[in-house]
Amino acid sequence: MSQYGSGSGSVAAPPAPAGGDGSTGAGGRRRPRRGSASGIKGRQGLWGWLFVSPMVLVLGLFLLLPIGMALWVSLLNWDGQSNPFTGAADFVGTDNYSNVLATDGLDRTLFMTSVRNNLYFVLLAVPLQTILALALAVAVNSRRVKGKSLFRTIFYFPSVTSSIAISTVFLFLFQGSGAVNALLKWVGITGPKWFTDANGLVWTILGGLGIVDPDKPTAALASNGFLGLSWWDWLSGPSIAMCTVIMLIVWTSSGTYMLIFLAALQDVPAELEEAALLDGANRWQSFRNVTIPALRPVIFLVVTLGLIGSWQIFDAVYVMSQGAPGNTTLTPAFLSYTAGFGDSEYGRAAAIAFILLAIIMVMTLIQRVLLRDRDKPVRAGRRFGAVRRRAS
């Protein structure tokens, strides 16, 4: 049946020769140029595998195998002591997953707290770093600015340094009596105790406006909840401590994204913007209606790269807060680490890692789908430009 099906499908293709070619594969088509080469090809096959064997070995052993082993361990109740690959292993099925996702309890509350924290992290960090990176790129790219490469160097430098070293510096800057608060005092603001302030940003701001009292949760929100967390907690926003982590990440990652924007900006044809200006558009209009549409695919790229990166925050949390205060800087990645190395619950740790992998895979898929037609808007923009130039 299926044979007939495929046969009728290939009717449109050229008949017999195509089949003959297909059987020899991609290498066959090149063969005539290389001459009498079945010997060479055989040798190449051997050398080919010899050349890639270190890669296959290392990536297989330390990337693929771990994933398989962790999948098995995520189905066990394992404390890291015995050998998990013998019959004695305590197989618990999907308990680790349901404990974290469905069953009411401490495990789920912790995991949901970490998801909430990371969601707020994404919500603030991704737009901030994208806008900052774009603004920096446009400013640096401006033809009338001198010292471009100096500014580019300055903005990019934090991205290449060690995350641990940078986190150490931020820890010092944001102490209760640190440099940032000293700076804020100059302008008459009493800064918060950044790393020990677990209050949510939303309630802090609303409290500052006198709408709610951050210390006295609204009863309706505090007594009802969803997935083990009260609505008051879900809606709290990132804690002040988390905002510090967000600032660190925005500060370090914007340089990399700025470079991506800069490369893309250089591909936006200058005459396109000129044409818009000649037509009487002001700078902002030309930016909005010409530059931004031409950059759309790159903006997608940066946003999705940011989304993917934001779910992997680990180093900064490890150094600056270890999840404290009040678990408000806990992220799924860090929770997975502490569940394993801290609590010796490797099954739960592996399960959290897989849920995190699923989240990131979804983000990657979205990126792939969105970028599949990434060339389109640019080409449309160029066509637009060509028409414009002919018209003017």
Partner 1 sequence: MSTPPTMPTPTSRAKPTNPGTWAPRATSSSPAGPRPPRGAGRRILLVALYLLLTGVGLLYLLPFAIQIVTSFKTDPDAAANPLSLLPNPFSLESYRRLFGLGNAADAVPFSTWLGNSVLVTLFITAGRVFFDSLAGYALARLDFRGRNLLFNGLLTVMSVPGVVLLIPKFLVLNQLGIFDTYAGMIVPLLVDAAGVFIMRQFFLSIPREVEEAARIDGAGVFRTFWSVVLPMAKPALITLTILSFQGSWNEFTHFLVATQSPQYQTLTTGLASFVSGSLSSGTQYPLKLTAALLATIPVAVLFFAFQRHFVRSANSGAVKE
# of chain residues touching partner 1 (CB under 8 A): 115
Short-list 117, 70, 102, CA closest to 349: 70
Find the binder of partner 1 among 23, 106, 144, 219 (CB under 8 A). 144
How far is residue 145 from each of residues 37, 137, 140, 275, 329, measured CA to CA in Å?
Answer: 58, 12, 7, 21, 40
Kindly state whether residue 154 participates in binding partner 1, applying the rule CB under 8 A.
yes
* Cβ-based nearer residue to partner 1, 144 or 216: 144
Long-range contacts of 140-144 (CB under 8 A, 24+ apart): 140/258, 140/262, 141/262, 141/265, 141/266
**Cα 163 vs. chain centroid, distance in angstroms?**
16
Kindly state whether residue 91 participates in binding partner 1, applying the rule CB under 8 A.
no
Q: Which two tokens stand for residue 84?
A: 């998990």
Find the binder of partner 1 among 77, 89, 92, 151 (CB under 8 A). 151
Site for partner 1 in 304-363 (CB under 8 A): 305, 308, 311-312, 314-315, 318-320, 322, 333, 336-337, 340-341, 346, 349-350, 353-354, 356-357, 360-361
Pairwise CA distance, residues 23 & 32, whole Å: 16
In the stretch 57-76, what mask flags binding to partner 1 with x, by CB under 8 A? -xx-xxxxxxx-xx--x---
Q: Which two tokens stand for residue 313?
A: 């925050």
Kindly state whether residue 105 participates in binding partner 1, applying the rule CB under 8 A.
no
Kindly state whether residue 191 participates in binding partner 1, applying the rule CB under 8 A.
no
φ, ψ at 81 (rounded to 5°): -90, -60
Kindly state whether residue 187 participates in binding partner 1, applying the rule CB under 8 A.
no
Kindly state whether residue 220 participates in binding partner 1, applying the rule CB under 8 A.
no
CB atoms closer than 10 angstroms to residue 314: 14
Pairwise CA distance, residues 347 & 336, whole Å: 10
Q: Which two tokens stand for residue 307?
A: 């989304």
φ, ψ at 239 (rounded to 5°): -70, 165
Kindly state whether residue 195 participates in binding partner 1, applying the rule CB under 8 A.
no
In the stretch 242-261, what mask flags binding to partner 1 with x, by CB under 8 A? ---------x---xx--xx-
Find the binder of partner 1 among 77, 221, 367, 384 (CB under 8 A). 367
Site for partner 1 in 277-296 (CB under 8 A): 277-278, 280, 283
